[in-house]
Amino acid sequence: MADSNVFVESQTNDTRRRRVPAPCAMVIFGASGDLTERKLVPALYYLFRAGLIPEGFLVIGCAKTPYTDEAFREKMRNGVRKYLNLPEGDYGNLDEFLKKLYYISNDFATCEAYSELRERLNQIDTGHGTGGNRLFYLATPPSVFPGTVACLGAAGFAQPEEDGKCWTRIVIEKPFGRDLASARELNRIVTNVFKEDQIYRIDHYLGKETVQNLLVFRFGNGIFEPFWNRRYIDHVQIAVAEHIGVENRASYYEEAGLVRDMIQNHALSLLSLVTMEPPAIFDATAVRDEKAKLMRAIRPLPLDRLNDYAVRGQYVEGWSDDQRLPAYRAEPKVSPQSITETFAALKLFIDNWRWADVPFYLRSGKRLAKRISEITVRFRRAPHLLFKGTGLKSIEPNRLSIHIQPDEGMSLMFNAKIPGTTMQIRPVTMNFHYDEAFGHAPPSTAYETLLLDCMLGDSMLFTRDDFVELAWELLTPVLNRWHEDGRKGLSFYEAGTWGPPEADAFMERDGRAWQEF
């Protein structure tokens, strides 16, 4: 049996080093749902094709839906081919991979079902040589998390059978709680059964290459960090925009809303990586310590002047590419009187030496003009307009754009003289794109890196309990105030636009404007 910290290194013909985890069994609860078919199994197959899945590996899907092993494999085959988007000839070893997939149909809300899981694991474990290592993945609705965790503990799955010689880990999908009180309670329930270093709270945004590259960009280059502070940066914008509506998630979205769905996890995680201090060493504890320290420095939003710091909106009927888009309240399973926000914009300040008085604008929404996630760093203007004698009235401030999706990369905008006999200046851009620089685009689901890190025991890209609670501590008072206000203060915007007019006015009051895409 392999130690939890041991991994194998192999070398490809392009000299890149690859980490292959120890053998293990992955158990997915809620395996009949979309997440498993669209993201998890395609990501696992991507790792398998790359030689990053250990020889001793298996997956057991667990759910109520009555599938046989073969029916489950066929469903996953279709998912891999549909969502991984590989060239047709690149699925040659898919059948070999699918042989590692199994399925148990049972009601895993009852602890009796876990005895069948243990028997099945014991039955096929030896044949696959997984070494007793276990990775449990909760791809279920959040309401099921406490019961599943409790049953895993009652069935004796929480601790390795031979302490120190094999490992057990649990992966929990967002949302982790719906407010500060529920997050603390869920943390209490989970940590009563599993140790914190066994718990992997997953945010798939942190698996995207550009997000990971933020640490390298900031701390692996000598030219950027010296001006990464209040002296040179005017403000920062973080946009997480979706073109789609709520689709088939209306029941969840009515309970959650935009802030719980996107701001509390994705946007605040991005903010922490952009603004955290350099860690002493590059390991999970040091990086997550700095992220938590940054979260503690975010100034609470003043509830008596909340409209100066926050905007919430909901989409109404609109148009995009000559297609009519329904209003949120007209979506199936949405209340005709719903006050759920589908758009939110926040202005945050970080009270520390590096960022004092620099505003950070977070914007996210459904049914916006296009799908894009981007971090925009706006630098201060040049302190003196040297060229005003030439008739030039102003120069555009420099801008760094970090493109997270769909086209991962970075671009830097600076000013240059237009060739000719007169002094004319125009903004120009230097671009970096992953597919151009490295010959291929990053993996398509962002789960590839995260699942591999789970199996390797590397928790750097996962959210720790203190970060979760600090995020809810910041946002819960805002959500409570919005709930109390009801329809009052809720703005509306046409589907297919960039949000309500109040969001533009929100920026204009500060003498700034949203980045155009």
Which tokens hold the place of 33? 């749902």
The residues, ordered by sequence, that sit 6+ positions from 383 with a Cβ below 8 Å of its Cβ are: none
**CB 278, CB 465: distance < 8 Å:** no
Residue 29's identity, in one-letter code, is: F
- Other C-beta atoms closer than 10 Å to the C-beta of 290 total 18
| Known active-site residue 235 | no
Q: Which two tokens stand for residue 48?
A: 């398998």
Rounded to whole angstroms, how far apart are CA atoms 20 and 43? 15
CB 347 within 8 A of CB 361: yes
Closest C-alpha among 175, 283, 207 to residue 47 = 207
Question: Within the chain, how many helices (H) and strands (E) appear?
Answer: 16, 19
* Given 266, 403, 440, 483, the catalytic residue: 266
How far apart (Å, rounded) are the C-alpha atoms in residues 27 and 42?
A: 15
For residue 264, what are the contacts with CB-CB under 8 A and spacing of at least 6?
175, 471, 472, 475
Report yes or no: 292 and 470 within 8 Å, Cβ to Cβ: yes
Instruction: List the beta bridge partners of residue 411.
Output: 401, 431
Which two structure tokens, joined as six digits, stand for 319?
């148009």
Active site residues: 266
